[in-house]
Amino acid sequence: MVSMRSRCSKWPVVHKTSEGALCSLRVPSLPMHPIGKGPMTAYVRCLIACWVLVQGGFAFAQPSFQPFAAVRRIDPDTGRGLANWPHARHFDHKHMRLELDLVSLDPPVFEARETLRLTPIGRARSQIRLDAVDLDIGSVGVRRAPDDRSRLRRFEGLSFTYDGQDLVISLDLPAELGETIEVSIGYRITNFLPQGQGLSISLGDPDGETDSERLPVIFSQGQSEHNSKWFACHDFPNERLSTELIVTVDDPLQVVSNGTLVERKSLAGGRTRFHWLQSQPHVNYLVTMVIGALERVELGGADSARPGLPIGVWAPIGRGEHVREAFGETPAMIAYFERLFDEPYPWDKYDQVITRGFDFGAMENTSATTFYPYAAYQSRDELRSIVAHELAHQWFGDLVTCKGWEHIWLNEGWASYAEALWNEELAGDDPAARRSAYLSTVAEWADAQRRGNFGSSPEQAPLVSNFYANPDEPFMKVDNPYSKGPWVLHMLRMGLGDEVFFAGTRGYLDRMRFGQAETGDFRRALEEASGRSLERFFEQWCMRPGIARLDVGFTWDESSMSVEVVQTQRIDAINPAYHFLLPIYVQFADGSGRYVYVNVEGPMARQAFRLGRAPVDVRIDPNMTVAGEYNIVKSLQPAGGAESSAGTNQ
Ligand SMILES: [Zn+2]
């Protein structure tokens, strides 16, 4: 037995039973905890936890899972595989400068000029292909040696083809390896889309009481592949670049975007130009722009929990003092996540932008999260989870980005898991209170998965899968990144212990920062920190769909307790029986208790434990360390008594 002190000093000691065994919290008494806040609350919270969950048009009263449909792996007519693969990167995109002039509001029109700095990958290349959806493209040019001040630095016109989806630019001379070029695209944006699909507009109310209500709001949504609907780009998360937006609007509209506001310049005619620079590279789907009449509240400052970092909330005029209180935990959250992840907040500032028209969701754009409008009226308690979720994305999603949508659980699982981490931290120093706050959040994910995830291979896509009909689908599948994802992280923490789990996580962030991660990158970081082989764990819980369904029976024979566990989920050649240690907490009449562990490897396991005295109660996996649901088929019958109700799930 090995005992180890958690690195996070407020987390209780973990107890390791044997090499390879699951750890569990050392419980001073029966580890009871509230089971979430009810299924409806869980679904509502899950639905607002991230923008993309509402892309499918679900109403609040419906589960966040998409209706089950067998995943299509092959086109039956042609035999063609239907897996999705990361898009090829023929050029390294270094920087985008996007100049937008809102020349008309009725109808809304932007005159746009985009300048992309590129260098070829692999070999000299004479064609540049960019994602660009329904843009009104007028001209394309190239500038060679853009840093060579001795040469004429002007753009030469280029020929291009454009079919409304792909912009293909033909260079007059190939771009050589090591050469940096700039291409310039002149275009107009007139195509404003329904919210969540690129650039959208919410028209103002002429009878509104404030400019916020009277004037329109224009806002973007990039995830998953929607930013190519307002600027040409490599619209897939396997490419990082720095970006800047230079946007001119009529007064009193404001523009909020990624990074630092390097200039705000008043122009003739009652206009203002905003110049935002995101100097550290990020992926295209995280580029954001929100235009509206907003007021900004500063939560940072020398007296805040996170001095030195500008932390703003942009809200409708008149809601500033409310959001100052409601979003008031943000600086402390930032400071806590910095300590826990051992990684400084990565960006120049953190803004939370309450955006009219951006209904039902929030989106973790780099350094500038977009929030749904009702957030201006919610309380601190109501906002806590989503503020923590979106903030955690600044590390998990923005600093380290999933390489492709099949790995989205690395973003969403971690952001959701951070909700539990913050609830745990907020509970204070008392270990029992911390454990209860943490496990209450875990129970919501477990509850959602237990009630909704009955699938298996090959019909259902697992948590990590590149089979999806469109890039928004992985966010909504049954093996859900928002519930199974954080549950898997919880299982890893319980199995590895705090010290190893967080050391591995810090190693993952260290290695992958400003990079693109696959699930294997996270697994390897945990393996290096733990010395364990986690291939089977990840294969079972990430690469296979579904969860374990178990019938559990107990027998007491005066000296020992026998436990029989039967796996009832589908078992066949591609869905083998799960392997895990099933913790069972045994309680005695004097209030003391202990854990026993059933080694479950095949469809059925039976194990006897000499307890020395009769138990009065048992709890199956109270800390939810196995992604499973338990059906008690035979309750424990204590010595000398009638069959009790003991033997319950949690
Ligand atoms: Zn999210």
Span 533-586, pLDDT tens digits: 999 999 999 999 999 999 999 999 988 999 999 999 999 999 999 999 999 999
CA dist., res. 446 & res. 452, Å (int): 10
- Mean local confidence (pLDDT), 503-507: 98
CATH number belonging to the domain at 87-292, selected among 3.40.190.10, 3.40.50.300, 3.40.50.10420, 2.60.40.1730: 2.60.40.1730
Q: Compute the distance from residue 409 Cα to the ligand 1 centre, in Å.
A: 9
Task: Give the three-class secondary structure for 343.
Answer: coil
CATH number belonging to the domain at 294-381, selected among 3.30.2010.30, 3.40.640.10, 3.40.50.970, 3.40.50.10490: 3.30.2010.30
Q: Compute the distance from residue 330 Cα to the ligand 1 centre, in Å.
A: 16
Q: Compute the distance from residue 643 Cα to the ligand 1 centre, in Å.
A: 46
Tell me, which fold does domain 547-649 have in CATH?
Immunoglobulin-like (2.60.40)
- 511-529 burial, b at 16+ Cβ within 10 Å, e below that, comes to ebeeebbbbebbbbbbbeb
Q: Compute the distance from residue 470 Cα to the ligand 1 centre, in Å.
A: 18
Q: Compute the distance from residue 199 Cα to the ligand 1 centre, in Å.
A: 20
Residue 621 has pLDDT above 70, yes or no: yes
CA dist., res. 371 & res. 352, Å (int): 7
- Mean local confidence (pLDDT), 52-66: 36
pLDDT at 36: 30
CA dist., res. 481 & res. 489, Å (int): 11
Do the interacting molecules here have an ipTM over 0.90?
yes
- Mean local confidence (pLDDT), 90-107: 97
Going from N- to C-terminal start, the domains of the chain cover 34-74+403-541, 87-292, 294-381, 547-649
Q: Compute the distance from residue 89 Cα to the ligand 1 centre, in Å.
A: 26
Question: To 5 degrees, how large is the angle CA 528–CA 532–CA 650?
Answer: 120
Q: What is the DSSP letter of 66?
A: P
Q: Is the dihedral of CA 419, 420, 422, 423 positive or negative?
A: positive
Residue 641 has pLDDT above 50, yes or no: no
Q: Compute the distance from residue 372 Cα to the ligand 1 centre, in Å.
A: 13
Residue 53 has pLDDT above 90, yes or no: no
- Mean local confidence (pLDDT), 475-481: 96
Q: Compute the distance from residue 216 Cα to the ligand 1 centre, in Å.
A: 27
- The CATH class that applies to domain 34-74+403-541 reads mainly alpha
> 603 in the Ramachandran plot: left (φ > 0), alpha (ψ -120 to 50) or beta?
alpha
Q: Compute the distance from residue 144 Cα to the ligand 1 centre, in Å.
A: 40
Q: Would you call 269 exposed, middle or buried from its count of C-beta atoms within 10 A (0-12, 13-18, 19+)?
A: exposed
CA dist., res. 368 & res. 359, Å (int): 17
CA dist., res. 218 & res. 247, Å (int): 12
- Mean local confidence (pLDDT), 321-347: 98
Beta strands in 544-640 (DSSP E): 548-556, 560-567, 580-588, 593-600, 604-610, 615-620, 628-634
pLDDT at 70: 85
Q: Compute the distance from residue 389 Cα to the ligand 1 centre, in Å.
A: 6
Q: Does the fold of domain 547-649 match that of domain 294-381?
A: no
Residue 61: CB atoms within 10 Å: 9
Calculated CA dihedral for residues 338, 342, 343, 349, nearest 10 degrees:
10
pLDDT at 470: 94
pLDDT at 152: 58
CA dist., res. 594 & res. 553, Å (int): 18
- Mean local confidence (pLDDT), 57-80: 64
Both tokens of 319, joined, read 């809601």
Contacts of 99 (CB under 8 A, 6+ apart): 112, 113, 114, 115, 246, 247
Nearest CA to 538 out of 504, 587, 584 is that of 504
End-to-end CA distance of the chain: 25
459, 71 in Cβ contact below 8 A?
yes
Residue 31 has pLDDT above 80, yes or no: no
Q: Compute the distance from residue 392 Cα to the ligand 1 centre, in Å.
A: 9
Q: Compute the distance from residue 286 Cα to the ligand 1 centre, in Å.
A: 12
Q: Compute the distance from residue 280 Cα to the ligand 1 centre, in Å.
A: 21
Query: Which amino acid belongs to residue 522?
Result: F
pLDDT at 146: 81
Q: Compute the distance from residue 125 Cα to the ligand 1 centre, in Å.
A: 37
Residue 46 has pLDDT above 90, yes or no: no
Helix and strand totals (H; E) in the chain: 11, 33
603, 469 in Cβ contact below 8 A?
no
Residue 272 has pLDDT above 90, yes or no: yes
Q: Compute the distance from residue 364 Cα to the ligand 1 centre, in Å.
A: 7
Q: Compute the distance from residue 196 Cα to the ligand 1 centre, in Å.
A: 14
Q: Compute the distance from residue 362 Cα to the ligand 1 centre, in Å.
A: 8
Both tokens of 234, joined, read 């490599």
| 144-148, 247-251, 441-445, 488-492, range with the lowest pLDDT | 144-148
Q: Compute the distance from residue 618 Cα to the ligand 1 centre, in Å.
A: 36
Pairing type for strands 271-283 and 254-257 reads unpaired
- Mean local confidence (pLDDT), 56-72: 49
